[in-house]
């Protein structure tokens, strides 16, 4: 109960930020919220299963593109709904095709998928609609985008919290530990993975849809930028993908760090990102906070011994 009051108070305080913040800090706030949503949604599926998905930006981009295509034709709330639906359909198709893959094959497939989606969208735009870029004119200021993302983040955290307490969350953890045991205990593996993968992907799609009006001009190379997928993995793994607030806590410093890096070292940015990705995926797959935890418990255990 106390926690809920505290969470609501924090939410209210964050909702007031646009009233005080200037355009630059508000832009940073939007970036942090956007990546916070993506990292939390990513961890909801990839934390327990340890499936490193690089498809994040495929869904993010699909969301943004749906808004770009439909913004003139449908009322905005309906556009968001359609975007969520597009995300769901693609997630189900991708899920059924890939969730039997494991380890590095899954990583590569999801990376390839992003490229495939980008190429398909490009092909469609060039050959069918004969446009490549699109303009998004929606009467939504940065503060509206900020509030929508804040609401999406709150919803995402609530869903992640619910999943962590629910049977389906336990099922996913069992599958992540040992799929053979999971199936022998009566867990329906494909259904469980598909459900949580879809929830996670729909959230990512919405994150892209909500942020679409920020760009004004959208083209595939902007919204399907694979860097986003890598960054999300680093954030979630750094903060700890199996904690509710872990991915969000990873997103805040890393977003700021990468903003600074891309502004000051635009040529070395990708190299630094790549090295960080490798280091975190291989050295600290459970997150920096978890590593700190286990170090802490090792130290305290040692002290407790006579």
Partner 1 sequence: MTLLSLHNVTKRFGGLTAVNGLTFDLAMGETVGLLGPNGSGKTTALNLISGYLPLSDGSITLSGDAIGTLPPERIAHRGVARTFQLVRALPSLSVGENVLAALAFRKSPLWGQQAEAQIEALLADVGLSGRASQPADSLTYIDLKRMELARALASDPQLLLLDEWLAGLNPTELRAGIDLITSLRQRGITILLVEHVMDAIRALCSRCVVMNAGTKIADGPTSEVLADREVIRAYLGDEHA
Q: Which residue, 186 or 306, has its beta carbon nearer to partner 1? A: 186
Residues whose CB is less than 8 angstroms from the CB of residue 22 and which lie 6 or more positions away in sequence, other chains included: none
Our CB check for partner 1 shows the closer of 173 and 214 to be 173
Stretch that binds partner 1, among 82-90, 151-159, 182-190, 212-220 (CB under 8 A): 182-190
Asked if 180 is part of the footprint of partner 1 (rule: CB under 8 A), the reply reads: yes
Q: Which is nearer to partner 1, 82 or 182 (CB)?
A: 182
Strand (E) positions, 111-161?
Answer: 134-135
Quick one: which of 183, 225, 262, 270 contacts partner 1 (CB under 8 A)?
A: 183
Closest C-alpha among 202, 204, 87, 213 to residue 145: 213
Among residues 188, 216, 256, 298, the one that binds partner 1 under rule CB under 8 A: 188
Q: Which of 9, 78, 120, 185 binds partner 1 (CB under 8 A)?
A: 185
Q: By C-beta, is 115 or 177 nearer to partner 1?
A: 177
**Residues binding partner 1: what is the number (CB under 8 A)?**
18
What values do phi and psi take at 50, rounded to 5? Answer: 60, 25
Kindly state the tokens that stand for 54.
Answer: 């690089």
Binding partner 1 (rule: CB under 8 A), the pick from 34, 95, 176, 250 is 176
Cβ atoms within 10 Å, residue 208: 28
Positions in the binding site for partner 1 (CB under 8 A): 167, 170-171, 173-174, 176-178, 180-189
């Amino acid at each position: 109960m106390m926690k809920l009051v505290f969470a609501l108070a924090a939410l209210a305080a964050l909702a007031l930020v646009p009233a005080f913040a200037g355009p630059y800090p508000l832009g940073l706030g939007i970036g942090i919220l956007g990546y916070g949503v993506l990292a939390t949604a990513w961890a909801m599926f990839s934390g327990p299963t340890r499936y490193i998905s690089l498809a994040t930006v495929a869904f993010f981009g699909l969301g943004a593109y749906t808004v770009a295509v439909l913004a003139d034709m449908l009322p905005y709330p309906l556009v968001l709904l359609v975007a969520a639906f597009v995300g769901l359909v693609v997630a189900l198709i991708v899920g059924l095709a890939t969730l039997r893959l494991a380890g590095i094959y899954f990583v590569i497939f999801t990376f390839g998928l992003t490229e495939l989606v980008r190429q398909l969208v490009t092909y469609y735009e060039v050959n069918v609609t004969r446009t490549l870029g699109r303009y998004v004119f929606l009467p939504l200021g940065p503060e509206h985008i900020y509030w929508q993302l804040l609401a999406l983040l709150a919803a995402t955290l609530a869903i992640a919290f619910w999943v962590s307490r629910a049977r389906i969350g336990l099922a996913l953890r069992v599958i992540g530990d040992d799929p053979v045991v999971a199936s022998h205990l009566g867990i329906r593996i494909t259904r469980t993975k598909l459900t949580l993968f879809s929830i996670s992907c729909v959230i990512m799609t919405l994150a892209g849809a909500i942020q679409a009006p920020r760009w004004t001009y959208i083209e595939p190379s902007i919204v399907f930028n694979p860097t986003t997928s890598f960054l999300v993995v680093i954030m979630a793994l750094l903060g700890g993908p199996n904690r509710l607030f872990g991915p969000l806590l990873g997103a805040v410093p890393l977003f700021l760090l990468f903003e600074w890096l891309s502004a000051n070292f635009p040529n070395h940015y990708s190299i630094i990102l790549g090295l960080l990705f490798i280091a975190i995926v291989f050295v600290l797959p459970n997150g920096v906070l978890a590593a700190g935890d286990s170090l802490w418990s090792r130290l305290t255990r040692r002290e407790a011994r006579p």
